[in-house]
Amino acid sequence: MDLFEKCHNYKLVDQLKEADLYPYFHYLESGQDIVVNMEGHRVIMIGSNNYLGLTNHPEVVEAGIKAFEKYGSGCSGSRFLNGTLDMHMQLESELASFLHKEAACTFSTGFMSNLGIISAIAGRNDVIICDKESHASIYDGCRLSYAKLLRYDHNDMADLERQLQSVPSDKGILIVTDGVFSMGGDLCNLPEIVRLKKKYGARLLIDDAHGLGVFGEGGRGTASHFGLEDDVDIIMNTFSKSLASLGGSMSADKEVVNYIKHNSRPFIFAASITPANTACALKALQILEHEPDRPKKLLDIADYMRGALRKRNIPIRDSVAPIIPINTYQDLRTFFACKTLFDKGVYVNPCISPSVPVGEAIIRTSYTATHTPELMDEAADIILDVFTNDLPKFDATHKDDTL
């Protein structure tokens, strides 16, 4: 059997392109912002994770330029050897201080952060228990760790306890959950997770990629939001969202950070974050500290858009984050909606199986602190127009659909 047979038989992309419904790889001709130039026309951007609106902030841009001029284009090595800059150390120190942890460690990307943390801290004699809606990077980190993986139903604390009860007493336990779930925009039930963690002697990792800069005191994240910073053992963050850059980090007790820095293969064998990315993340963090009202503006504009969509009877899911899922149910219907919205000037993200269950496809919309009510009303009117006049009616007798 030819290894590439699966590639030759993969026809979905060609079929979607032939039907003019292919929704991926649209290219920007301007910087990431609330309104962008994309493939030749103006588009309202409600599909970005630029939560604080800092990707084009002049201080962030200037910091990146200065770092490029001082350090050059890259570090030419891993943090473990020649690739550590003084600025990496400063970023780690300021992150740890901001998150009220003893130490921090940076990774080349957010995805690699989960890969590096989980694979180093858990091993063959350990058990990882994660929420079923955890991010793909968490699942891949679990696979790399060789620990036994158990999953509990999304935010189902009774199921989590059942899984904890099944673990032998001689096994180490790591509970892993997103702080803010990227598809549904809901929060984990952190108070109950912490209670169960203590009851069963487990450790807890929160992926707070969508929580930093959004929830908590001054944007410190999900643990801060619940007042449980001391009870979360490891906080993972990414720089590609609120911190307007590229990279990721973990924050924890200094012994835990030190262990991972010396035992994590994705950390040891990967090149360090570029100087410009490091400088941009550091400056964005400093802006967040000096402008703690940005997270409130973000949540306020998301609430405004929720109200605007409900007023227009758009079928949204309940959420509390600046992530508002719109139900489209069927994959093909979702592609059609995203294509039509794009043509009419609104960019959104299609989320189909397997990222969501079959028959539960959504349009994922997300918001930025610098969005305005006027822009939200314009986008909501376009969404209403598409759902009223262009979108095929949902047929509940067909959970899935194909071209």
Return the bridge partners of 326, or none. Answer: 316, 363
Query: What's the number of CA atoms in the CB half-sphere (13 Å) around residue 323?
Result: 23
Q: What is the spatial distance between Cα 211 and Cα 192, in angstroms, rounded to a whole number? A: 18
- Give the list of residues 6+ apart from residue 68 with CB closer than 8 angstroms, or none: 275, 276
- Residue tagged active-site, from 101, 197, 210, 261: 210
Active-site annotation holds for 41: no
Tell whether omega for the bond before 354 is within 30 degrees of 0, i.e. cis.
yes
Return the bridge partners of 187, or none. Answer: 180
Joined tokens for residue 264: 């994590």
DSSP label of 152: E
Q: What is the spatial distance between Cα 124 and Cα 202, in angstroms, rounded to a whole number? A: 16
As a three-state string, the secondary structure of 344-366 is: CCEECEEECCCCCCCCCEEEEEE
Q: What is the spatial distance between Cα 55 and Cα 284, in angstroms, rounded to a whole number? A: 9
Active-site annotation holds for 245: no
- Residue tagged active-site, from 134, 182, 249, 251: 182
Whose CA is closest to 197, among 163, 146, 153?
A: 163
Burial tier of 68 (Cβ tally within 10 Å: 0-12, 13-18, 19+):
middle
- Residue tagged active-site, from 57, 88, 197, 241: 241
Q: Confirm if 220 and 212 have CB atoms less than 8 A apart.
A: yes
Whose CA is closest to 207, among 231, 182, 230?
A: 182
Whose CA is closest to 164, among 176, 182, 146?
A: 176
Burial tier of 266 (Cβ tally within 10 Å: 0-12, 13-18, 19+):
buried
Q: What is the spatial distance between Cα 207 and Cα 212, in angstroms, rounded to a whole number? A: 10
- State the angle between helix axes of 294-311 and 373-385 in degrees (0 to 180), rounded to the nearest 10: 30
Q: Which helix (H) or strand (E) holds 377?
A: helix 373-385
Active-site annotation holds for 241: yes
Name the residues annotated as catalytic.
Answer: 182, 210, 241
